[in-house]
Amino acid sequence: MVNISNLWHYLALQSPLHSTTLSGDSFNITTMGLTTYTLPALPYAYDALEPHISAQIMELHHSKHHQAYVTNLNKALESHAAALAANDVAAQIALQQAIKFNGGGHINHSLFWKNLAPTGSEETRPDAAKELVAAIEKTWGSFDSFKKAFSATLLSLQGSGWGWLVKEAGNGGGLRIVTTKDQDPVVGGDVPIFGVDMWEHAYYLQYLNGKAAYVENIWNVINWETAEARFSGRSDEKTEL
């Protein structure tokens, strides 16, 4: 199974050798061997997550923030290609952080949009994730205990970052709650089942300093169908990432 959590693997799979992309409705353009990334379309309308996440937040978050990660990833990769051609190792090293930050931002947000679903849709019911919920109950004792633990982890994050439920690469594929700082993606072979963006841009316009209310409400729009597919390895993302 392809590991969807590894940044470099992800980038490599979007190379000219691969025709599939992160999202079925996005596409990449290859020019002179350099892949140009594009913003994947949101799989629902900007107002689909209301009242839990406002249309204004979704539009800015997707069309401005995510777009900026894509734009800056392309710029960094272009500069890196020039540095490689010029055999300028110092410039190549200097670009690593920009590639990691913007590449991570592109990966994290692409995963995030897909692990959310319109308010009231079938996908938002944990019933859509029977295998995953069984594993969650086995790990945390109950679904509510898991939600409490996950929410507490999100609220304990300092600064900007993400909270994730992951299926571990080791430990028999067990479930674990992890956080990543800034735009660091999940790495090390762990499979992100779903993630929650805890950057202020994800909630501040609507919730202001009420971070706890954002965390409480995000549970209403988690896409359990996507989560189940990632958990079981049946996600079509495995051929795309």
Helices 130-140 and 143-156: crossing angle in degrees, nearest 10, is 80
User: Is 197 marked within a binding site?
Assistant: yes
> Is 207 a residue that touches Fe ion (CB under 5 A)?
no
Is 197 a binder of Fe ion (CB under 5 A)? yes
123 interacts with Fe ion by CB under 5 A: no
Question: Going residue by residue from 148 to 187, which x/- string records binding to Fe ion, judged by CB under 5 A?
Answer: ----------------------------------------
Measured CA angle at 1 (ends 40, 123), to 5 deg: 50
What are the φ and ψ backbone dihedral angles of 141, each rounded to 5 degrees?
A: 90, -40
Which of 199, 203, 224, 231 forms a contact with Fe ion (CB under 5 A)?
199
CB atoms within 10 A of CB 11: 18
The nearer residue to Fe ion, 80 or 114, going by C-beta atoms, is: 114
Please give the Cα distance from 89 to 202 (Å, whole number).
Answer: 36
* Min CB(124)–Fe ion separation in Å: 20
Q: Is residue 225 a contact point for Fe ion (CB under 5 A)?
A: no
- Is residue 201 part of an annotated ligand binding site? yes
* Alpha carbon separation from 208 to 51, 125, 201 (Å, rounded): 15, 27, 10
Smallest distance from Fe ion to CB 194, Å: 14
Indicate if the alpha-carbon torsion angle 215, 104, 232, 17 is positive or negative.
positive
Least Cβ distance, residue 70 to Fe ion (angstroms): 12
Binding interface with Fe ion (CB under 5 A)? 197, 199
